[in-house]
Amino acid sequence: MSYQVLARKYRPKSFRELIGQEHVARALINALDQDRLHHAYLFTGTRGVGKTTIARILAKCLNCETGVSSEPCGVCSTCREIDEGRFVDLIEVDAASRTKVEDTRELLDNVQYAPTRGRYKVYLIDEVHMLSGHSFNALLKTLEEPPPHVKFLLATTDPQKLPVTILSRCLQFSLKAMSPERVVEHLSVVLQKEMVEFEESALWELGRAANGSMRDALSLTDQAIAFGNGRLGTADVRSMLGSIDRDLVFRVLDAVNSGDAAVVLDVCAQLAEQSVDFSGALAELVSTLHRIALGQMLPAAVDNSLGDAGRVLALAQAMTAEDTQLYYQIALHGRRDMPWAADARSGFEMTLMRMLAFRPVPVSPETVQGGARTAMPGRPAAPGNRPGGSGGGVQAMQSVPVRASAAVAMAQPQQQHQPVSRPVASPSAAVARAEAPASNVIPLKPVSQQAPQQVTQPVPQEVAAVTPAVAAVPQAREPAFSCSGNPQDYCTPESWEQWVLHSGLAGGGLNLARHAAMMVLADGACEFQLAAKHDILASGQSFGQIEECFRRHFPGVQLRMAKKDPVYATPMQVIAARKQARLQAATATLQADPFVQTLINDFQAEILPDSINPID
C-alpha cells in the first residue's frame, strides 16, 4: 500500500477526534441529538482548520446506516465511502473551478431528485465565495427552501465576499485558527503513534511555522521527518524552515544591551552565512523582546516551551524596562521599513544600529548633583547625552523636578555655553515637559489654593542653588468676567458675546442666545431680539433657560421676547466675522510667501481657496 501523508491519515473522522473547534462541535452535536437540523450550514475560517472535515463528519452523521446521531459508527459502508470520498449522495463541488451560472443551474437541476443510497443528499460547496454573482442569485431560492432530503454545507476562507442574502439563509460557524500550543500537543500525539523520535523545541518551531493551520503543521512535519531521516531535531527543523538560531537572538540582545557593536555585526555575519530570512530574524527578535518584557512584569508568565526561559529571565534582569520597550519599538519600526531597505541584511543591521545609537545612557545621582553628565561604567556616552546636549536618559531623578530645570534654562539664556546640571528624565517625562505650557513651568500649588492677587512661590532648593534669580516667581491672576451689574453695559456686540459665553447657558438656551441680541428699553426692561429666520430656535424651554439665567444675574429686570432683526451683530455673526478675518489674513500670508510664489511662477501652480484653514 502506498504511503499516506499525515494530514490525510490523521484527519478527524468524528466530532470526538476534532481538534480545537469545540464551540462548533458542541453546537452540531446538540443539534443532531435533539433533531434540530438546519438545511444550510456555512463554515468559515483560514486554511487547514477543519472546514471540509467538519462538513464530511456531519454528512456521515446524517447518512450513517445506524441512524442520525452525533456519533457515526464509522464501519458501515456509508461511513467508509464518505471517508474515502466516493459516496454518491455527498456531492462535493469546488466553487473555484465551477463559477459559472450554468454550472450552478446544472447542479440545482438534480436537487429535486431523492438521494440514491443515503438518507440525505448533501451538497458540500467548497470556497463558495468564488461563485459569480449570477450563480449566487440562481442559488438563493433553492438555498432558502430546499427539499426535505437536501442539506447544503458551504465552506469558505473569505466570508466577507459572500452576499448578505446568502449569509442570512445559513447557520454560520467561524472556525478558530490553531494556537501553537494546540498544534504542538497534537503533533506530539501523532508522532508517538508513528513512533518517530522528536525534540519538543522542534515541535514548537513547526507550530509557529504552521501559522494557525493544523494541515500545514502536519505537512511540515512530513517534510521534517524526511529531512531529518526519520527524526525531528531542532537544528534540522530550523535548517529546513530557514528560521534563526535562538542562541544568536540572545547573543545579539546581550551585545546591544552592553553596547558592543563588534559582536552585533559578527552575529549579522553569521546569520548571513546561514542564509536566514532577515525579516524572520527581526520577527524573532520582536518575539523575544516581548517575552523579556513579560519576564520583567511577571516572571511566572514566561513559558519554557522553547527551553530558554532561564535566558529570557536573565536578560529581563539585565535590561531595564525602558530599554526593553525602546528596543521593541525600534524593532517594530525596522520591520515596517524593511521593504524600503537596499537589502534585507542592511535593513536588519540598521535596526540594530538604531538600538545602539538611541540606547539611553544612565547617570548616577551624584553625577547629576555635581554638575557633570558622566556615563555609568560599562556604557559609553552617546553624543546626545554629553554635558549641555539635548539627549535624555532613562531614569527620572527625584531630587530635581523636570519643569523646574526648564525654568532655570530659560532664566539663563546668556549662559548656554556652560554645562547646566539637568535631571535625567524618562521618555514619557520628556514628552510631558515638551507639552507643558510656558506659564506653568514650575509646578506648584493649584491656582484655586493661591492668594487672589499675587503669590510668591518658592522653588526647590536644587534650582535656587543654581539660580537665585528665579527663587520667587510672582503670578498675578486676571479678574474673572462678571455677568452681573447694569444690563446697559452688555448692549454691544463684544460685551453681549462675552455675557453669553460666561453666563452658564448650555444646550438649546446657549444656541438661542448666540443668534440673538439684548437691548435695554425705556421702562428699564430688556428686550431679547431674535430674527425671524431663527424663530425655530425660540422654543419655550430654550427661552425659559435664558429667562432663568437672566433673573439670576439681573434680579428685578424683566426680559421680553421680540421677533425682529437685532440692532447689532449677534455672537454668531461676531464669530463668523472673526473667522472670515482670520481666513483673509491666512490667505494673504500664503499668497505673499516667497516659496508659494516660486511654485506659482515656475510650475503654474494654483492656490485652492477651499483648502486654506487659518491656524487658531
Q: What is the pLDDT of residues 217-251, one digit of tens each?
A: 999 999 999 998 888 888 888 888 877 777 888 88
Same domain for 143 and 130?
yes
Q: Scanning the structure block, which residue is given the C-alpha cell 431523492? A: 114
Residue 111: inside a domain, yes or no? yes
Same domain for 85 and 208?
no
Same domain for 224 and 309?
no
User: Which pLDDT does position 361 carry in this prediction?
Assistant: 66
Same domain for 108 and 206?
no
Same domain for 193 and 287?
no
459 C-beta neighbours (distance < 10 Å), count? 22
pLDDT at position 184 over 60: yes
**DSSP SS3 for 124:** strand
Cα angle value 600/604/609 (rounded, 5°): 65
Whichever domain contains 491, its CATH number is: 3.30.300.150
Task: Give the lowest-confidence range in 175-184, 357-366, 407-416.
Answer: 407-416
**DSSP SS3 for 46:** coil
Same domain for 584 and 562?
no
Same domain for 537 and 581?
no
Task: Assess contact for 298 and 286: CB atoms under 8 A.
Answer: no
Same domain for 158 and 229?
no
**309, 326, 357 — which closes off a domain?**
357
Whichever domain contains 349, its CATH number is: 1.20.272.10
Residue 192: inside a domain, yes or no? yes
Whichever domain contains 237, its CATH number is: 1.10.8.60
Split into its structural domains, the chain has a count of 5
Residue 458: inside a domain, yes or no? no
Same domain for 51 and 89?
yes
Residue 368: inside a domain, yes or no? no
- pTM beyond cutoff 0.75: no
In this predicted model, what pLDDT tens digit does every residue of 598-611 receive, in sequence order?
888 888 888 888 88
User: Tell me, what DSSP letter sits at residue 442?
Assistant: S
The percent of residues in the chain predicted with pLDDT above 90, rounded, is: 24
Residue 443: inside a domain, yes or no? no
Q: What domain range includes position 349?
A: 246-357
Torsion of CA 232, 234, 239, 242, to 10 degrees: 110
Residue 506: inside a domain, yes or no? yes
Task: Give φ, ψ of 464 to 5 degrees.
Answer: -65, -30
For 351, counting Cβ atoms within 10 Å of its Cβ (0-12 exposed, 13-18 middle, 19+ buried), the class is buried
User: Which pLDDT does position 244 carry in this prediction?
Assistant: 74
List C-alpha distances in Å: 524 to 497, 529, 560, 567. 21, 16, 11, 17
Cell of 75: 464501519
Cell of 136: 449566487
User: Which pLDDT does position 27 carry in this prediction?
Assistant: 93
Task: Assess contact for 313 and 302: CB atoms under 8 A.
Answer: yes
**189, 214, 241 — which closes off a domain?**
241
Residue 229: inside a domain, yes or no? yes
Residue 370: inside a domain, yes or no? no
User: Which pLDDT does position 305 carry in this prediction?
Assistant: 63
- Nearest of 362, 386, 394, 387 to residue 376 by alpha carbon: 362
Same domain for 16 and 120?
yes
Same domain for 261 and 191?
no
Same domain for 168 and 297?
no
